[in-house]
Structure 1
């Protein structure tokens, strides 16, 4: 594993979280003041939760002097984790507000598992056995590993990060052979591995695929992605009509810039810190946050985008927007929740899309039938044309034979006439030269 942690007893109980990577040195954060305030709450975070919490703090977060705000956040999230079931049921709105403000890095692993109910999944026990098996996707996974977070130290060439990423992707390709492996999914798994051990990352990923519509997004048909593109485009048409008209005029299709937003939850489009904050919300609210953030980005950049052609817009999405977000996620998240999002309207659009696709499928079936019928008719026509050619050839051959026969008959008649004439001439000669007695015998 790339992540380890431990609880250390020290003068009343001091907890140290450690996040260890192959190239990073171990670090400890001692929070005695936190525990003095809320030792009972955090002491009970044990078992699988303790393992997750202990793996959450990276070396970049090591500091023995926490601000009061950070301490308060740790206290609050410690209580939330400890009293998870009751807190989620009784304080749904507060939990939503807290998640939107950002889950503390140190608590992300355990909170993400709790949000998607991935703790204690039976499939976790199968993980080690899956790694011993061979997947038909291994070559493809190996090829794409180097393309996943290539700038991140944890995933640099031949690193432990690349190995555990391969392990999780391989294991999933074996438990879901219909989906197998899809490149975009590696970025999601990579983010999980930055927060937690590979077995836990595997369980969370399985949950995301099953319960968060990701499996439908990554199916070979990508039917769910088509639905998301349709819904998103309809939202643009309604909320940003001028921009929609410009996109249409430039033949700038929604999938050209937004498909990666949905497939990777912005992980390949935004700075990692921003995408991680959005992923916090995704774990609680699902794909709704992708629609909201996507619309917010378009609203914030509408004036500039309308001035650009297709190539300019592609460059803008790839370079300018990520640069804008380097200052942090708060502005875009705030804007996202000012976007008019109507769940009922989205459901209606889903029904519309289903109707359209059903009609398209029916039309495709009809087109296929007509094409088959047309092919058969063409074959019949070809056969008839060949038959006509054959008959024409036969008629021509018959005509030639008849002409030849007529010529032969004429020649035969001429020969017969010449023969009769010759015989008559011969008789005349005989009459003229033979004695009269012999002539009588000849005749």
Structure 2
């Protein structure tokens, strides 16, 4: 499709989608090589209409009440997306982070001061700072302000606050996203605590038992929902941890487009970790035929990289509608039973 204006009249003469769409997105990320500017412009023109409509509804809801409580209406609103201007507030309230912050005034600064005395913790975090979002201009040392300082502060504070976890790779990327949304260190700290301490328990502990368990749970769910893919994985001896560990440990950061990740996180903070299964199952169901073309082990791994790219995952509003329809029923009871079974199996294997 050619977006150039060939009439020579008015604005946009000989201007392409690549000229109109900034090379750096709203969040500071550089567009990757091969980015489809024409498709993205078409998507954006549709999505901005959705965002405007959602913003009006959210503004009205937040004017009606000073404290958003969980309800069918709020759940529906969240599934349809939180506008960026309200995202930080809604995440804070829904995750319980706001209540924790209000109950613990001054705690963040005091724990940061204590954490900085832990040389080993500080050294580990500093090593990872430059590896965090090298494609984001806001995290570069030349940026003003450079978000690396806020990232360092939150990770040091959290490492001391939760000594069972300390610092684990993956936490830097999650914290980076929280800073980009909240633009506030203390809020990011409490949201990180909500994620690691409550929503994703044991994902980042030294043994990572929660993470390992959920990867096994996904395997069981695939057997139930997409059996042909489960059979393919088994036939080629591909372990789930090889192809989906980054999906879970980074909560789809650097796997899916930024706006899609933030829409997933909207529901993650409200509905909990089962959202991660919905996303994974939707990717597998949507691309089942493509995955089944794999002829060998490397093929399978390549297919899993490919299914997280392209138009389907960029169209975040449509994608989110799919994750709540495509996998079908996914009850908390089912997830709980599978987790108990998979955890026991892992413990038995490791003992």
TM-score range, shorter chain: 0.7 to 0.9
TM-score by length of 1: 0.62
Give 1:134's aligned residue.
117
Note if 1:276 corresponds to 2:296.
no
Note if 1:317 corresponds to 2:300.
no
CA contact 1:124–1:203 (8 Å) conserved in 2: no
| Compared CA separation, residues 256 and 71, structure 1 to 2 (3 A) | closer
- Shift of residue 82 of structure 1? 4.4
Give 1:103's aligned residue.
82
Work out the CA distance in 1 between the residues paired with 2:230 and 2:241: 13
- Aligned residue pairs total 296
Moved more, 121-130 or 303-312: 121-130
| Compared CA separation, residues 68 and 300, structure 1 to 2 (3 A) | closer
Detail structure 1 runs of 4+ shifted over 6 Å in the superposition: none
Deviations 1:304-351 (A, max 9, x none): 111122222322333452234453213332221121213222222123
- Shift of residue 299 of structure 1? 0.6
Give 2:323's aligned residue.
336
Give 2:240's aligned residue.
254
CA contact 2:79–2:266 (8 Å) conserved in 1: yes
**DSSP 3-state at the match of 1:322:** coil
- Shift of residue 300 of structure 1? 1.0
Note if 1:185 corresponds to 2:171.
yes
Work out the CA distance in 2 between the residues paired with 1:124 and 1:358: 39
2:337 to 326, 343, 348: 348
| Compared CA separation, residues 192 and 84, structure 1 to 2 (3 A) | farther
| Compared CA separation, residues 250 and 68, structure 1 to 2 (3 A) | closer
Note if 1:151 corresponds to 2:130.
no
- Shift of residue 192 of structure 1? 0.8
CA contact 1:123–1:203 (8 Å) conserved in 2: no
Work out the CA distance in 2 between the residues paired with 1:325 and 1:191: 22
- Shift of residue 360 of structure 1? 4.3
Work out the CA distance in 2 between the residues paired with 1:249 and 1:73: 45
| Compared CA separation, residues 149 and 123, structure 1 to 2 (3 A) | farther
1:204 to 178, 182, 191: 191
CA contact 1:124–1:200 (8 Å) conserved in 2: no
**DSSP 3-state at the match of 2:181:** coil
Structure with greater helix share of residues: 1
Deviations 1:247-301 (A, max 9, x none): 1111111111212212121113111111111111111111111100100000111
RMSD: 2.6
Note if 1:74 corresponds to 2:74.
no
Q: How does 1:160-309 map to 2 (within 5 A)?
A: 160-196=146-182, 197-213=184-200, 215-308=201-294, 309=296
Work out the CA distance in 1 between the residues paired with 2:131 and 2:91: 25
In structure 2, runs of 5+ residues without a counterpart are 1-23, 26-47
| Compared CA separation, residues 69 and 316, structure 1 to 2 (3 A) | closer
In structure 1, runs of 5+ residues without a counterpart are 1-22, 25-66, 365-443
CA contact 1:145–1:166 (8 Å) conserved in 2: yes
| Compared CA separation, residues 315 and 356, structure 1 to 2 (3 A) | closer
**DSSP 3-state at the match of 1:149:** coil
- Shift of residue 127 of structure 1? 2.1
**DSSP 3-state at the match of 2:233:** helix
**DSSP 3-state at the match of 2:163:** coil
Identify the structure with bigger relative contact order (alpha carbons < 8 Å, sequence gap 6+).
2
**DSSP 3-state at the match of 1:171:** helix
Give 1:372's aligned residue.
none
Give 2:18's aligned residue.
none
Work out the CA distance in 1 between the residues paired with 2:278 and 2:258: 18
Moved more, 127-136 or 268-277: 127-136
Work out the CA distance in 2 between the residues paired with 1:87 and 1:123: 21
CA contact 2:274–2:335 (8 Å) conserved in 1: no
- Shift of residue 88 of structure 1? 2.3
